[in-house]
Each structure stands twice: as structure tokens, then as C-alpha cells.
Amino acid sequence: MENYDANAVAEKIINFCISQNKNFVFISGNGGSGKTEFSKILSKKATKYGKINVLDMDDFVVNTELRNNAITKWNDAQNKEHTGRFTTSCPESYFLQSIKAILYNIEKGNDYYHWPKKATTSKECNLLYGNAILTIIEGVGTVFLDKDKSHSLSVFLQSKKEVEIDRRIKRAEKSNEKTAEEVKEQFEERNSQYESVIKPHISEYDIVLESVEDFSLNIIRDDFKILE
């Protein structure tokens, strides 16, 4: 399997989107698969062509404490029932109507002021452009959003278990899980929900990539042959 530099992959995706008038890019994948890193590369490279919008699904996630104190049920790949907290693999974990409203406004050409989750004052609001050449929506929860293939492209990133755990441990201090022990302890529950709820949506995505240790990419599937 040939390995590709993420910058080169991003450049080809941007060129394809511009040439095909695709104004939205949806990025999903398992935790630690490099979704945020890849969206940053995409947005940085796309800015030379015009205005860019970037939306992080984390901005639309329900409060962590509320999710951790609520119980959900799901069946794993062996159809065994489980109960546990609401991770970001659950549609109930998002304020989906809020991001749908934003995307609708952008689609209609309307500018929109977005108040990010971590913003504390209005000065930190982001102006989203109705005439942006590209709007990037990043996060596992993009599987729950409508994607009109006539003007959007979708990318699904995967990483192996050991890569995900290693990346989660490295960013632990900035996340809800503060230690390596917490990361490993909660991985199985999170992964079980991911396999059950998110992974079945892979077939809906146009490009499937594997992110390896150094954030370079292996191409698993490329429906439009963009990366050839």
C-alpha cells in the first residue's frame, strides 16, 4: 500500500473541490485518526484560493458532565447489548439542529456569526462566509449530517488501535481524560460505540484514508480517483 504525504493529499482534494464546484468537505473518523490535523492542513492550503470556513463538531457537543451522567444502550458487532455513557459516537451527544442551521445559511449564501464552544466573549466569534470557496466540517459526528454529493466531498480517516491510544495519551492533559490510565480505561467503551454506530457509515464517504504514526496517509478507497 502506497503511503502519501498529507499535504499532497490535501492539495489534490482542494483542486478537485474547486474544479468540481464542491463547496463543503466533511471529515469524520475514529478518535486520534488525525481529523483535526488534516482539516488544518486543508484550510491552510485552501486560503490561497479564497475565503474558508472551518467548523469543529466539538463545538456542538453536549456538556461532558451531562453525557457522563446519562446512560445509553447499544449492541456491539456480536449483537451483545452494552450500557454506558454517551460518547461522541452517539447522535444524542450533539446539538445537531444548531450546526444544520449554520450549514443551511452558508449554503444559501448568508454570512453567519458562530460562537465557538470555548469562546468567552463576542470578540472570539467567528464570521462564517456565505461566499466561501470551501467550508470544512470536521469531527466524528459529521456522519449524522446530510451531505449533498452534488456540492460536497466527504473524507473518512482511520487509524489503528495503538495509534489512536498513543495519540490520545499525548494530548491527555488537554482532553477530558487526564492520564494514560484514563485513556486506556475508557478506550474499550468508546471504541465499542464507534464500531457499532459510526463505522457502518464509512460506505457513505467518498474517500477513506488511514493515518499512520507520522500522520502520513494510506489510501483505502477513493471513489473519484482524486488521489491517483
- Domains of the chain as residue ranges with CATH: 3-222 (3.40.50.300)
Q: What confidence score (pLDDT) does residue 173 get?
A: 62
What span, in angstroms and rounded, lies between the C-alpha atoms of 228 and 226?
6
- Are 77 and 196 in contact by the 8 Å Cβ rule? The answer is yes
Q: What confidence score (pLDDT) does residue 177 get?
A: 59
Q: What confidence score (pLDDT) does residue 178 get?
A: 58
- Are 57 and 142 in contact by the 8 Å Cβ rule? The answer is yes
Q: What confidence score (pLDDT) does residue 78 get?
A: 87
CB count within 10 Å of CB 68 equals: 12
Q: Give 133-180 pLDDT, tens digit per residue.
A: 999 999 999 999 999 999 999 999 999 989 988 888 887 666 665 577
Q: Give 12-65 pLDDT, tens digit per residue.
A: 999 999 999 999 999 999 988 999 999 999 999 999 999 999 999 999 999 999
Average pLDDT of span 206-226: 95
Q: How confident is the model at residue 1 (pLDDT cuts 50, 70, 90)?
A: low
Q: Give 87-102 pLDDT, tens digit per residue.
A: 999 999 999 999 999 9
Q: Give 183-200 pLDDT, tens digit per residue.
A: 877 888 889 999 999 999
Query: Side chain identity at 39, as an amino acid letter?
Result: S
Which of 60-64, 76-80, 213-217 is least confident?
76-80
Q: What confidence score (pLDDT) does residue 77 get?
A: 81
In the structure grid, which three cell numbers stand for residue 156, read together?
473518512
Q: Please give the C-alpha separations between residue 50 and each of 18, 38, 162, 194, in angstroms, as whole numbers.
A: 10, 19, 38, 35
Average pLDDT of span 206-212: 96
Candidates 46, 55, 44, 42; CA nearest to 98 is 55
